[in-house]
């Protein structure tokens, strides 16, 4: 298995207050009106210092999320894609609809690409207000690729690369920021199909990020050694990868509470549902707009909201698992 890159999370990052208005969107009950601490200024900010970013946004659910954020978010929206030509084409499509997204190339499998994006956000905006981690992959059910290869490739992108994005960008999330990790209830199904021993480990409230990484690596190794079923794993690489994203979200939310509680950053995982995309195929039962509904809701939670946080959310409702 190739070495998977990771870096140490740096906590906390100095808070930077936005100069623009609060985001518009679904308005849950406001729980507080406390103003965040005054931030240092940044010498090279855009005319509006508020910014939302969506990964893997040139098509599918990510594109629909970017479109809706362009309509509702008070600030700039950065659409990212691995393929620059496809990303710019997506931006042109939204521009033709009267919207004004920005584009930045991002390959989440490339740590240097993630860091280049981080540097861009710091230079242009002094940080980041909203992060939607949407980029991901899935093999078709009839794909002939050996299962161990599917496991390695799927976890490399869906879990390890998503983790790298969080590692690099969470430290620059501004006070009252919102982080949304696109997961799936397929991950919940994968958990239910794990052995009792593995279920206990994943559900443990004191599970650390390092422990979770070890579990994800063990799944890949067990598939290579053809012992994953005997070791209590399900036969779903995609399911295990999304289980990892959901549990990672819980761990990162807990760390935010420990290190940056006063900043009131909310981080959640969500399931967009079975959407008609290239990934799901024609069997999807939801439109792209319906799939984007919950991610956008979480991205636009008002500044004084205190929940949900560290949860898996489906149809705007917390899913207990």
Cβ–Cβ under 8 Å, residues 28 and 302 = yes
Map 165-208 to HEC letters: HHHHHHHHEEEEEEEEEECCHHHHHHHHCCCHHHHHHHHCCCCC
For residue 118, say if its preceding peptide bond is cis, omega within 30 degrees of 0.
no
Retrieve residue 67's tokens.
């479109």
Task: For residue 238, indicate whether it is catalytic.
Answer: yes
**Residue 105: which residues within 8 A CB-CB, separation 6 or more?**
80, 81, 82, 84, 87, 113, 117
Cα separations in angstroms, 75 against 21, 111, 125, 296, 314: 8, 27, 10, 14, 26
Please tell me the distance from the alpha carbon of residue 225 to that of residue 66, in angstroms, as a whole number: 41
Backbone angles phi and psi of 178, in degrees to 5 = -130, 135
Per the residue annotation, which of 238, 250, 251, 293 is the catalytic one?
A: 238
Tell me the catalytic residues: 238
């Amino acid at each position: 298995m190739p070495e998977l890159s990771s870096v140490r999370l740096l906590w906390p990052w100095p808070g930077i207050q936005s100069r623009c208005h609060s985001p518009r969107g679904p308005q849950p009950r406001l729980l507080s009106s406390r103003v965040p601490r005054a931030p240092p200024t940044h010498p090279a900010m855009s005319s509006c210092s508020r910014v939302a970013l969506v990964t893997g946004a040139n098509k599918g659910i990510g594109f629909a999320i970017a479109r809706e954020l362009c309509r509702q978010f008070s600030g700039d929206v950065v659409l990212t894609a691995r393929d620059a030509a496809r990303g710019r084409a997506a931006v042109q499509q939204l521009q033709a609809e009267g919207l004004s997204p920005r584009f930045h190339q991002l390959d989440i499998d490339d740590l240097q690409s993630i860091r280049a994006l981080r540097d861009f956000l710091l230079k242009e905006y002094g940080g980041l207000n909203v992060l939607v981690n949407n980029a991901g992959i899935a093999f078709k059910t009839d794909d002939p690729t050996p299962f161990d290869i599917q496991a390695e490739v799927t976890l490399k992108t869906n879990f390890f690369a998503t983790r790298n994005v969080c590692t690099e960008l969470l430290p620059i999330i501004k006070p009252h920021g919102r982080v949304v990790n696109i997961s799936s209830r397929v991950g919940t199904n994968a958990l239910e199909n794990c052995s009792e021993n593995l279920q206990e480990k994943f559900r443990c409230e004191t599970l650390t990020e390092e422990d979770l990484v070890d579990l994800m690596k063990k799944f890949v190794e067990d598939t290579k050694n053809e012992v994953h079923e005997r070791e209590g794993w399900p036969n779903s690489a995609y399911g295990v990868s999304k289980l990892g994203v959901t549990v990672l979200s819980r761990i990162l939310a807990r760390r935010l509470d420990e290190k940056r509680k006063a900043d009131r950053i909310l981080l959640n995982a969500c399931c967009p549902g079975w959407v008609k995309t290239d990934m799901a195929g024609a069997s999807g039962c939801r439109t792209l707009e319906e799939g984007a509904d919950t991610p956008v809701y979480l991205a636009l939670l008002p500044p004084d909201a205190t929940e949900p946080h560290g949860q898996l959310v489906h149809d705007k409702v917390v899913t207990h698992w």
